[in-house]
Structure formats: C-alpha cells, structure tokens
Amino acid sequence: LRMYIGRGTKVYLLPLRHRGQVSFDITALCPDGAWSPEVSRDDVLATVEGFDERLVAITRGLDMAGVNVRAVYDIDPVETWHSDSVVLVGDAAHSMLHHQGQGANSAIEDAGALADALREASSVREALARYQAVRKPETDKLQAISRQGWSEEEIEDVFPGQKPADAAPKE
C-alpha cells in the first residue's frame, strides 16, 4: 500500500494480487454530498494537482467511464451501543472513514470482545455493557484519527514528515 497525502486529499495505490490489478483510490473533500457525486476529469486532475507527476499521469490517463465515484461518510461516536438485549457492532456502532483500513478490523475485534463478554458475564445485559466498555474507547480513538489529516497542520500532526508536494523543499 502506498498513500500520498496533501491539501485535503489522500491518494492510495493498493495491490489487488488476487486480481492482478492495482486499486487507485483518491479520497478528497467534495462539496457535492450525493451518493454518486458528479465529478469530471478536470475535477479529478485539479484534486491531484501538485502531487507526484506519476500520480497526475495515472489520473490523466483514467477512463472516466470505468471510474466509480462514491461519497464516503462516517458517524459521530455513538454514546450507547446497546439496550438490555440488542447490541450494535462494526459500522453500526462506529463507522469511520476508510483510509485507515480499520472498519472491518474493528468489526472483527468487536465480535471477539462481544463473544468474550457473553462468555464471562452473568447476564446478557451485563455482557453488552462490558463489551461496550472494552471496545468503545478503542473505536473512539480510531474514529478521531480517521477524521484527522485533511489540513496541512493535521497532516504534520498525524503523519509527521509527509508534506504536500507544493510545500516540499525545491531541489
């Protein structure tokens, strides 16, 4: 996985070895909040302006007919994940932006913590409260981290040494 970050944009190159392909993903802030925002080639090129020329060249060569444009959303931390007999796990409890790759991992960890809590507690109600007490502090941290890194100041805080191309020293 290669990730490039700058000016409100994250660009990823992710090998898909099982398909013999590479996923090229651009995540950027977008004023169009629709599920499938209208994005032109010029919009995408403007988004990667100032990045490494190789990334710009990949973007320039994209077949826009084959490009999926989707909105990504997260949720604010949910205070209570359970009732006396129903519980939220995974994205239902703590949806976060995808660029950390922690959504599925967190859901799996939720399942393990829930199984442990159900095995150890004397009631379902106690187990669900125990599960939330164990998992919520961890997922709250991951949700907060997933929301960082969009401004140049946050990039330096979250990803030290990773500077946008236009802020990098000129040779």
pTM: 0.66
pLDDT attached to residue 171: 47
Is residue 87 within 8 A of residue 128, CB to CB? The reply is yes
50 and 10 co-located in one domain:
yes
pLDDT attached to residue 165: 47
Burial (Cβ within 10 Å: 0-12, 13-18, ≥19) of residue 155: buried
14 and 58 co-located in one domain:
yes
pLDDT attached to residue 167: 44
At residue 6, the 3 state secondary structure works out as strand
What's the average pLDDT block by block, 10 residues per block, for the chain (171 residues)? 71 84 82 84 89 90 89 85 95 84 90 98 97 96 78 56 47 47
Domain extent for 9: 2-72+158-162
pLDDT attached to residue 155: 54
pLDDT attached to residue 136: 97
pLDDT attached to residue 75: 80
6 and 58 co-located in one domain:
yes
14 and 45 co-located in one domain:
yes
Is residue 53 within 8 A of residue 60, CB to CB? The reply is no
What is the number of structural domains in the chain?
2
Element holding 129 (H helix, E strand): helix 124-146
